[in-house]
Amino acid sequence: MTATLLDGRALAARIEGSLRSEVDTFVTMFHRRPRLVVVLVGDLAASGSYVKSKASAADRVGIDSDVVRVPATATTDELVSLVASIARDEHGPADGILVQLPLPERVDTVAVLDAVPPDRDVDGFHPENAGLLSQGRPRFVPCTAAGVQRMLIDAGIETAGRHAVIVGRSDIVGKPLALLLASRGPGGDATVTICHSRSADLAGVTRQADILVAAVGRPRLVTADMVKPGSAVIDVGINRIVGPDGTAKLVGDVDFDAVREVAGWISPVPGGVGPLTVAMLLANTLLAAELRSSRR
C-alpha cells in the first residue's frame, strides 16, 4: 500500500480562488479592500519567510497587508502598546492583526497576544475566541487547526465515529483541533485522544488512530510501526534539519517515506498543512473585515 498524498498546495489554491471572488464582492459592497497588519519582531529568518508568504497570498486574493517591523530588543510593554495603537487604526485601517510567532523568550507572549482585540484576532488565539470555539460557536479558529479539518473534509476522509489521535497539546494546534474534530457536523463527530510528552505508551495509542495528527515539532517522531494500516496521517510539524552533506532541509514530525507505505492518506512537508494555514488566515481576515464593516 502506498498512501494517497494530501496536496495542501492544490487545496490552498482552490480556497484562494473562492476567496478572490468573495473579496471582490466585499470591495463592491464596502468600497475598500480588507486589510491585514502583521507585527514582526526581530529578524529571525524563518519568521520573515512566513510573513512574506502571507503577504504574497494576501495580494493574490485582493487583501491588503502591511508589516510593522519591531527591533528584537522591544519589551513586552512596548509590544502591547504597539498592538493597541494598531487596533486604534493609527497604522491605517486594520481588519485583522497578527503577531508573528515566536517572540523573543524574554517577552510575555500571552500578554502580547491578549492585547489583540478579539474581533481582530485572525490567528484565533484570544481567550474569547478560544472560549467561543469550546462552546461550539466559533468565530476565528486557529488557522492550522482549521486547515487540518478542511484537508480531511476535502479528501473525503470520514471523521464521524472515527478515532482521532493528536500528538501535541498546544493552544495553537492540538487543543483547538481536538475541539473541531469532536464538534458536531462535517469534519467532526470524532472520538478524540490528545497525546503529549507525559503520555504512556505513545505508540500503543497512535496505532489505534483512524486519523493521526502529529504536531509536536520533533523531526520524524512518528514511525511506521506507530501507524494503523490505512489510516490518515496529517503532519503538522515543520523542522529544519541538516543532512550528512551539510544541506539544510525541512522535514515533518512523521517519517514520511516509511509511513506512506502503511497509511491510507498522508500529508507531506513541505506542501501539506502549511499552505492551508495561510489560506485559513486569509479567510479569517475577510471574515473580520465583514464583521467590522457590518457594524458600521
Residues with Cβ within 8 Å of residue 188, at least 6 apart in sequence: 149, 159, 160, 180, 181, 182
Q: Using the predicted structure, report yes or no on whether residue 92 has a pLDDT greater than 90.
A: no
**Which entry of 64, 95, 100, 228 is annotated as an active-site residue?**
100
The number of helices, as runs of H, and strands, as runs of E, in the chain is: 10, 11
- Identify whether residues 157 and 205 lie together within a single domain: yes
Q: Is residue 281 part of a domain?
A: no
CATH number of the domain that 176 lies in? Answer: 3.40.50.720
Query: Which pLDDT score is estimated for 112?
Result: 97
Total number of domains in the chain:
2
DSSP state of 286: H
Q: Catalytic: which of 54, 119, 210, 253?
A: 54
Average pLDDT estimate for 180-189? 97
Whether residues 161 and 77 fall in one domain? no
Nearest to 60 by CA among 26, 17, 95: 17
Print the domain residue range for 105.
31-117
At 247 the pLDDT is: 85
Q: Would 289 be classed as within a structural domain? A: no
* pTM reported for the whole predicted model: 0.95
Residue 108: give its domain's CATH number. 3.40.50.10860
Residue 45, pLDDT score: 64
Distance CA 139, CA 124 (A): 8
Answer yes or no: do 160 and 229 share one domain. Answer: yes
Confidence of residue 296 (pLDDT cuts 50, 70, 90): low
Clarify whether residues 158 and 204 are in a common domain.
yes
* Rounded distance between C-alpha atoms, residue 141 and residue 173, angstroms: 10
Q: Does 287 map to a domain?
A: no
**How high is the pLDDT of residue 277?**
97
Residue 98 scores a pLDDT above 70: yes
Residue with cell 486569509: 282
Look up residue 166 and give its three cell numbers: 493528536
Q: Is the pLDDT of residue 295 over 80?
A: no
Q: Quick check: is 59 catalytic?
A: no
Q: How does DSSP classify residue 225?
A: G
Amino acid of residue 153: I
Catalytic residue, candidates 64, 95, 121, 123:
123
On whether residue 44 sits in a domain, the answer given is yes
Task: Kindly write down the DSSP assignment for every residue of 163-185, as one continuous string.
Answer: EEEEE---TTTHHHHHHHHHSSS
Is 54 catalytic? The answer is yes
> Are 44 and 155 contained in the same domain?
no
Residue 100 is among the residues annotated as catalytic for this protein: yes
Q: Are residues 98 and 149 in the same domain?
A: no
Q: What is the dihedral of CA 47, 50, 51, 56, to 10 degrees?
A: 160
DSSP string, 18-53: HHHHHHHHHHHHHSS--EEEEEEES--HHHHHHHHH
Query: Residues 101-141: pLDDT tens digits?
Result: 999 999 999 999 999 999 999 999 999 999 999 999 999 99
**Which tens digit of pLDDT belongs to each residue from 12-30?**
999 999 999 999 999 999 9
> Stretch 93-104: mean pLDDT, rounded?
95
Tell me if 105 is assigned to some domain.
Answer: yes
Looking at the structure, do residues 112 and 200 belong to the same domain, yes or no?
no
Residues in CB range of 88: below 8 A, 6 or more apart: none
Same domain, 85 and 185: no
Query: Are 168 and 48 part of one and the same domain?
Result: no
Is residue 122 assigned to a domain? no
Please indicate, yes or no, whether residues 218 and 179 belong to a single structural domain of this protein. yes
